[in-house]
Every structure is written in structure tokens, then in C-alpha cells.
């Protein structure tokens, strides 16, 4: 075994922009930087409190990049995002430096989903839904950490 550890960067644009959500999932808050994902739109989803993104020319999504994500942490994020999202490689612009960065993000798998509408708002989500979302995230994290003998 070579002992090398692959580190990933992940562009987040919804509930994972909240440090408290990330801390519950990863047991830490990684280094972050504000970023813009060009040519995508952030949608609200009927019946859900979290958003999704899909390609959309001449639009952009603001969010942030989580740096130094390990393979194990990427697995946790994959499980958290579930099968409704696909992990894709995208290029973002870091807000502070305008540097282009190849990173991963989660894109809605069903590009023709009739439940997508409008534009999701992070500040509104924090006021209306964050408290309940943190409870759900804590339960998810506890289920992810079940000892092997109990799974």
C-alpha cells in the first residue's frame, strides 16, 4: 500500500453551505472558499427544503468549495446526497481570486423533474428550515456511524 490519501474538493450550494450541517456529517468543518459555478441554476424542489442544480446557460450558482475532503468523507457526502443526485466534476471560479478550480458537485439526476421551480434561497432556508434540517442531519449521521456488528 502506498499510503497516499486522495483529497477532494466539493462545491456545495445548499444545506452544506451551513457549517453546522457539515460538522454533523464530517465531525469537522474543512477549509472553505466562496465560489461561483457558471452555467448552472439552483432550483427549489416541491415538497423539499433543500435545493438542487442543473445546467443553465448564462446563469450561475453561488456557493462554496469544501477543501481536503477524504475518500471516507466523500462517501458520507455521497450517501447524504442519495441517489437523486449524481456527483459530477465541474469548474468553479473562486470568488476571492477568480482562480478556476476543477471540483466535484452534486447535480440533480432527473433533469426533466416537474417538481423543480424558481430559485432556492440560502438565507430563507436558514431562517425557516435549518433547525429541523440539523435534527434530520444528526439522525442521518448517527445511522452512518452504526458499529459494523449492528448493521
pLDDT tens digits along 29-48? 999 999 999 999 999 999 99
Could you give all domains of the chain from N- to C-terminal order, each with its CATH number?
Answer: 8-146 (3.10.490.10)
- Work out the pLDDT band at 54, boundaries 50, 70, 90: very high
Q: Give the span between the Cα atoms of 111 and 87, in whole angstroms.
A: 14
Q: Across residues 84-106, what is the average pLDDT?
A: 96
Residue 57 appears among annotated catalytic residues? no
Q: Across residues 107-116, what is the average pLDDT?
A: 96
Show the DSSP H helices in the chain as ranges: 19-26, 71-81, 122-128, 130-144
Catalytic residue among 73, 79, 81, 124: 81
The answer to whether residue 1 scores a pLDDT higher than 80 is no
- Work out the pLDDT band at 145, boundaries 50, 70, 90: confident
Amino acid at each position: 500500500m502506498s499510503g497516499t490519501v486522495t483529497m477532494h474538493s466539493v462545491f456545495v450550494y445548499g444545506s452544506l453551505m451551513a457549517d453546522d450541517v457539515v460538522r454533523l456529517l464530517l465531525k469537522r468543518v474543512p477549509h472553505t472558499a466562496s465560489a461561483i459555478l457558471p452555467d448552472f441554476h439552483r432550483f427549489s424542489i416541491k415538497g423539499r427544503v433543500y435545493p438542487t442544480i442543473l445546467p443553465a446557460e448564462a446563469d450561475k450558482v453561488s456557493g462554496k468549495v469544501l477543501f481536503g475532503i477524504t475518500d471516507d468523507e466523500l462517501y458520507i457526502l455521497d450517501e447524504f446526497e442519495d441517489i437523486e443526485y449524481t456527483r459530477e466534476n465541474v469548474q468553479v471560479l473562486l470568488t476571492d481570486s477568480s482562480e478556476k478550480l476543477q471540483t466535484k458537485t452534486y447535480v440533480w439526476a432527473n433533469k426533466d423533474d416537474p417538481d423543480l421551480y424558481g430559485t432556492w434561497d440560502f438565507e430563507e432556508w436558514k431562517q425557516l428550515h435549518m433547525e429541523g434540517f440539523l435534527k434530520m442531519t444528526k439522525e442521518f449521521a448517527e445511522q452512518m456511524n452504526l458499529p459494523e456488528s449492528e448493521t
